[in-house]
Structure 1
Amino acid sequence: MALENTDSKQLKRVLKPLHLWAIAVGLVISGEYFGWNFGWNVSGTVGFLIATVIVTVMYVTFIFSYTELTTSIPHAGGAFAYAYRAMGPFGGLIAGYATLVDFLIATPAIAFSLGGYLHFLHPAIGVIPSAMAFNAIFIILNIYGVKESATFSVFITILAVIELLLFMGVVGPHFKMDNFLTDAMPFGWSGVFAALPFAVWFYLAIEGVAMVAEEVDNPRRNIPRGYIYALGTLVILAFGVMILTGGVADWHKLSSIAYPLPEAISLVLGKGSGLTQLFASIGLFGLIASIHGTIIASSRQVYAMARSGYLPRPLANVSERFKTPHWAIIAGGAISFAALYIYQKQLDQIIILSVLGAVTMYMMSMISLFVIRHKEPKLERPFAAIFYPVFPAIALLIAVICLIAIVYYNLQLSLIFFAGLAIALAIFMLMGKHKTKIMDDEMLYAS
């Protein structure tokens, strides 16, 4: 069947390698600013360090495997498209649902932390009202245009990276190993497993670059570059920030707040220090980069699933003026507003729920890679998975371990996640979607 060529369905191919690096790092970099520190509460500093090493191995092996799928099937649906191609309608639905939870729930978590940073600077400003305002502002920016918003991503992400390097430079001289090793593993090895979802938060959403694959100029060359440069940047920042922060003072004081980095500097220099205030101010950049990126990624997932008939079709409409999926962006924003209201005092719960979606999606993606390798051995693969089948097998195994750990330590949240999946599957079957084949121009639109 001939591919459609209408303004209502096509996205513009305008993104370059620098844009992809910025989107990938921008999606994730808020994980260095907040959220990971909750892992100290359940594992201690050394326990969390071990958890982070395990998760870093998962992400390295995952990205060098996932990139094969992203470049071979450059579709805005990401894992949804890969799982559909590998396992059919049910596989696509499970992967799509998991990806939606991953990105749609990450957005309000980042908005919440933005509100927390602003509250640190100006205590009179409420966390939730400012979080809602940030959410609205970036919905509007993303409707305006992907090239414009991606250019903004480059600028804001570079500032965020510079700030984290500045943070390490400021607190580094004050690092004391005694602080870091105090109460290092209070819960033993069980704490390491409990901390896994918070270690995932260091890197969660890097896979979001797949959601803009249809907007990348020469995706088969540029997507691998974007992923590899971004992953290297994030590994350095994650370990640097975590280790240095854990050694500047009593880490217990930083293990349950939404703004650990400015608080760490305040413990070293004093809250009234001009440098402390400056850091908290520009700290907003890292969080802004991530909320901006997660809105891009989540809206493209909604768009792709709607275009394929898995969500209401109007969500696949593209703005004639801006060439962006405006209704998908607005729908994702509505979910973000709702999550902010429901979980406004439970930031750690929002993070865990988002991570549940992420690790489920990672599992489905690696299974898809194995299946597609078997089903389509002649598929053009511009970037073949490195050390196949070892790397994807390692990524799959660690993702399974993460999922088991999350379910064991967070049973209630896990029941919510899987109940949502069960409802989605029931509606899917009642509507007969499992019997409807997605047309090539919908699923293989960019192949």
Structure 2
Amino acid sequence: MSNVEQSNTNDQKLQKSLTPTLLWGLGVGYVISGMYFGWNLGLEKGGTLGMAIATFFVIILYIAFSLSYAELACAIPQAGGAFDYANRALGKKWGFLAGMAQNIEFLFAPPAIAVGIGAYFNAVFPQIPITAVAISAYLIFTLLNILGTKLASTFELVITIFAVLGLIVFWYIAFPKFESKNLIINALPNGFSGAFAALPFAIWFFLGIEGLANVAEESNNPQKDITWGFGSAMATLVVLCLLTFVAAVGINGWESIVYKTDGSISDSPLPMAMSKIMSDTSRVYQLIVGIGTFGLIASFHGLVLAAGRATFEFGRAGNAPAFIGKVHPKFKTPANALLLNMVFGIVALLSNSTADIIILSAFGALTMYIFSMVSLLVLRKKEPNLTRPFRVPFYPISPIIALIIASVALVAMIIYNFNLSLVYFGILVGSFVVANFLVRRIS
């Protein structure tokens, strides 16, 4: 390679700046909004018991998946995550589909969270429109991510710590009012089929943890630090999930954190739970809601960061217009990809359908999980000598468990959300057709 070619290649590399602590902050931050909102929509489908069953299997899925995904991230530390793994294991066509599934997940998750941020702000400042707050969040945090990864990830760590503290304060207030009888009120309103319908919202509890793989290229020591990041973040999130679920439902039953007084669906379950304990005009209530907003901001900001890397890698590999795969010459961040994602995200949030956006994101996530687990199994046979600083425990049981649960969940989601599945697969297949026949042939 000539000096000029080497220089051009280096120009498109992302800056290494992430430490183990920052990776923990990113891992928890990507996901923590799932504790603050969105999951309560699953209660409408399955009730307390149906949502609990769905969450139980989803926790197993994510533990098995995150350990398996850590092996892939350490062996192939590139910004594309699942796209790069499937590309290497299964070929460019399957790699394209895996990458698009990942893009759909990361494109639809942030607008859903942006609406949640708006809803939390609106709970304290009802004069401020939800949509205005959501769009402002996109503008502010896209700019922050453009200015630098170290700055963005340090900010993520700080607000993630605040978000965890917010949940701890919520538990402190909620558990003295907890009554176990509230957990069994109308616990299975739609029978056991409700557990299947609740799956995408149980997935929302943990959706986004895989974003750690997309910053592997920017880790100081990816072969060591990414494993620690996945493990420590997942352990933290399981504890947060279980305590938040039980505390919120145990105050006054699941319906009190799903339905507003006018019968509409709420995007702010924890404030609704607290309103059963204290006045929504009290300083304590407003303080906790304010802290809770940090949880939403942490996930929104973190997923904006991960989405930018996934889209950037798609462009850098030639599967999208070349400008998407360009690094900002000064800040060494994927500025063009971040701006493009912002435009798509704002269009999505203007649809005013949080549940549908969450479901589309979950479709993308499950598809990506399936591709990733297949890639892991194939690479173990195809490239046995590939350097693997971390190997998933209990191989091949762990990736197979993740693969089976993800596959069953995907089928269940198609059955219970058939029209949205047509939209999802239309985007997935349509993008492949456009890329393969109108832009360039994927061989």
TM over 0.5: yes
Query: How far apart are 1:309 and its partner, in Å?
Result: 0.1
1:420 aligns with 2:427: yes
Q: Which amino acid aligns with 2:347?
A: A
Looking at structure 2, the residues matched to 433 and 362 of structure 1 have their Cα atoms a distance apart, in angstroms, of: 26
Q: Which amino acid aligns with 2:337?
A: A
Q: Which amino acid aligns with 1:370?
A: L
Identify which of 245, 263, 276 aligns with 2:285.
Answer: 276
**Runs ≥4 residues deviating over 6 A:** none
1:362 aligns with 2:387: no
Find the counterpart in structure 2 of residue 441 from structure 1. none
Query: How far apart are 1:432 and its partner, in Å?
Result: 6.9
1:313-351 alpha-carbon deviations (Å, 9 max, x no partner): 11111111111111011001011011011x21x111111
SS of the aligned residue for 2:198 comes to helix
1:118-175 alpha-carbon deviations (Å, 9 max, x no partner): 1101111111111111111101111010001111111110110111111111101111
1:325-378 alpha-carbon deviations (Å, 9 max, x no partner): 11011001011011011x21x111111110000000000000000111110011
Equivalence map 1:129-140=2 (5 Å): 129-140=132-143
Q: Which amino acid aligns with 1:72?
A: A
Looking at structure 1, the residues matched to 277 and 371 of structure 2 have their Cα atoms a distance apart, in angstroms, of: 44
Identify which of 390, 401, 405 aligns with 1:398.
Answer: 405
Identify which of 301, 306, 310 aligns with 1:297.
Answer: 306
Q: Which amino acid aligns with 2:53?
A: I
Find the counterpart in structure 2 of residue 444 from structure 1. none
Looking at structure 2, the residues matched to 160 and 398 of structure 1 have their Cα atoms a distance apart, in angstroms, of: 29
1:151 aligns with 2:154: yes
Query: Unaligned 5+ residue runs, structure 2?
Result: 259-264
1:99 aligns with 2:102: yes
Q: Which amino acid aligns with 1:16?
A: T
Report if the CA contact (8 A) 1:160-1:286 is conserved.
Answer: yes
Looking at structure 2, the residues matched to 16 and 434 of structure 1 have their Cα atoms a distance apart, in angstroms, of: 39
Find the counterpart in structure 1 of residue 337 from structure 2. 328
SS of the aligned residue for 1:15 comes to coil
Looking at structure 2, the residues matched to 353 and 377 of structure 1 have their Cα atoms a distance apart, in angstroms, of: 35
Report if the CA contact (8 A) 1:89-1:434 is conserved.
Answer: no
Identify which of 220, 228, 244 aligns with 2:247.
Answer: 244
Looking at structure 2, the residues matched to 168 and 90 of structure 1 have their Cα atoms a distance apart, in angstroms, of: 47
Query: How far apart are 1:308 and its partner, in Å?
Result: 0.3
Looking at structure 1, the residues matched to 6 and 276 of structure 2 have their Cα atoms a distance apart, in angstroms, of: 59
Find the counterpart in structure 1 of residue 85 from structure 2. 82
Q: Which amino acid aligns with 1:355?
A: A
Report if the CA contact (8 A) 1:172-1:244 is conserved.
Answer: yes
Q: What is the alpha-carbon root mean square deviation over aligned residues?
A: 1.2
Identify which of 415, 421, 426 aligns with 1:408.
Answer: 415
Query: How far apart are 1:434 and its partner, in Å?
Result: 4.2
Percent identity, please: 42
Query: How far apart are 1:4 and its partner, in Å?
Result: 3.5
Identify which of 153, 160, 165 aligns with 1:162.
Answer: 165
1:160-192 alpha-carbon deviations (Å, 9 max, x no partner): 011111111110111111111111111121011
Report if the CA contact (8 A) 1:179-1:247 is conserved.
Answer: yes
Q: Which amino acid aligns with 1:416?
A: V
SS of the aligned residue for 1:319 comes to coil
Q: Which amino acid aligns with 1:410?
A: N
Looking at structure 1, the residues matched to 38 and 157 of structure 2 have their Cα atoms a distance apart, in angstroms, of: 23
Identify which of 25, 37, 40 aligns with 1:37.
Answer: 40
SS of the aligned residue for 1:116 comes to helix
Equivalence map 1:11-50=2 (5 Å): 11-50=14-53
Looking at structure 2, the residues matched to 270 and 315 of structure 1 have their Cα atoms a distance apart, in angstroms, of: 48
Query: How far apart are 1:429 and its partner, in Å?
Result: 2.2
Query: How far apart are 1:433 and its partner, in Å?
Result: 3.9
Identify which of 104, 114, 124 aligns with 2:127.
Answer: 124
Q: Which amino acid aligns with 2:71?
A: E
Seen in structure 2, the aligned counterparts of structure 1 residues 432 and 325 have a Cα distance that, compared at 3 Å, is: closer
Looking at structure 2, the residues matched to 187 and 112 of structure 1 have their Cα atoms a distance apart, in angstroms, of: 28
Query: How far apart are 1:388 and its partner, in Å?
Result: 0.5
1:64 aligns with 2:64: no
Equivalence map 1:308-319=2 (5 Å): 308-319=317-328
SS of the aligned residue for 2:252 comes to coil
Looking at structure 2, the residues matched to 101 and 10 of structure 1 have their Cα atoms a distance apart, in angstroms, of: 24
Looking at structure 2, the residues matched to 91 and 383 of structure 1 have their Cα atoms a distance apart, in angstroms, of: 25
Identify which of 340, 345, 357 aligns with 1:350.
Answer: 357
Identify which of 177, 181, 186 aligns with 1:178.
Answer: 181
Query: How far apart are 1:5 and its partner, in Å?
Result: 4.0
Find the counterpart in structure 2 of residue 192 from structure 1. 195
Find the counterpart in structure 2 of residue 337 from structure 1. 346
Looking at structure 1, the residues matched to 213 and 183 of structure 2 have their Cα atoms a distance apart, in angstroms, of: 37
Identify which of 274, 287, 291 aligns with 1:265.
Answer: 274
Q: Which amino acid aligns with 1:246?
A: V
Looking at structure 2, the residues matched to 159 and 150 of structure 1 have their Cα atoms a distance apart, in angstroms, of: 14
Report if the CA contact (8 A) 2:45-2:198 is conserved.
Answer: yes
Looking at structure 1, the residues matched to 439 and 332 of structure 2 have their Cα atoms a distance apart, in angstroms, of: 31
Looking at structure 2, the residues matched to 374 and 428 of structure 1 have their Cα atoms a distance apart, in angstroms, of: 30
1:51-70 alpha-carbon deviations (Å, 9 max, x no partner): 10100000000011111100
Q: Which amino acid aligns with 1:313?
A: A
SS of the aligned residue for 1:202 comes to coil
SS of the aligned residue for 1:320 comes to coil
Q: Which amino acid aligns with 1:334?
A: V
- Could you tell which deviates more after superposition, 226-235 or 422-431? 422-431
Looking at structure 2, the residues matched to 103 and 425 of structure 1 have their Cα atoms a distance apart, in angstroms, of: 18
Looking at structure 2, the residues matched to 83 and 434 of structure 1 have their Cα atoms a distance apart, in angstroms, of: 18
Q: How many residue pairs were aligned?
A: 434
Looking at structure 2, the residues matched to 367 and 78 of structure 1 have their Cα atoms a distance apart, in angstroms, of: 14
